[in-house]
Amino acid sequence: MSFAIASAVAPAAEGRWRGEIAPGWDIAGAANGGYLMSIAARAATLASGRPDPVSVTAHYLAPGTPGAIDLSATVLKEGRRFSTVEVSMVGTRPLLHLLGTFGDLGDSASASVDPALVLESPPDLPDPDDCIEVEPTDGFPPPFMGKVELRLPGDLAKAWSGVGAPRVQGWLRLRDGEPMDTLALLVGVDAFPPAIFFSDFPVSWVPTVELTAHVRRRPVPGWLACSFTTRFVTDGFLEEDGLIWDAAGNLVAQSRQLALVPRG
Residues that bind its own copies (CB under 8 A): 54-55, 57, 59, 61-62, 76-77, 82, 84, 86, 88, 94, 97-101, 105, 108, 111-112, 114-120, 166, 196, 199, 201-202, 209-210, 212, 214, 216-217, 230-239, 250-251, 254, 256, 258, 261, 263-264
Q: How far is CA 21 from CA 138, 173, 254, 255, in A?
A: 18, 20, 25, 23
Dihedral Cα 112, 256, 153, 221, nearest 10 deg: -30
CA 36 to chain centre: 9
CB of 59 to its own copies, least distance (A): 5
Measured from the CB atom, the residue of 129 and 235 that comes closer to its own copies is 235
Measured from the CB atom, the residue of 103 and 142 that comes closer to its own copies is 103
CB of 132 to its own copies, least distance (A): 26
The answer to whether the CB of 175 falls within 8 A of the CB of 4 is no
Residues in the chain: 264
Dihedral Cα 246, 141, 34, 167, nearest 10 deg: -60
Measured from the CB atom, the residue of 36 and 238 that comes closer to its own copies is 238
Measured from the CB atom, the residue of 114 and 124 that comes closer to its own copies is 114
CB of 207 to its own copies, least distance (A): 11
Spatial distance between the Cα atoms of 82 and 3, rounded to a whole number of angstroms:
25
Measured from the CB atom, the residue of 3 and 230 that comes closer to its own copies is 230
CB of 264 to its own copies, least distance (A): 7
CB of 139 to its own copies, least distance (A): 25
Spatial distance between the Cα atoms of 178 and 155, rounded to a whole number of angstroms:
28
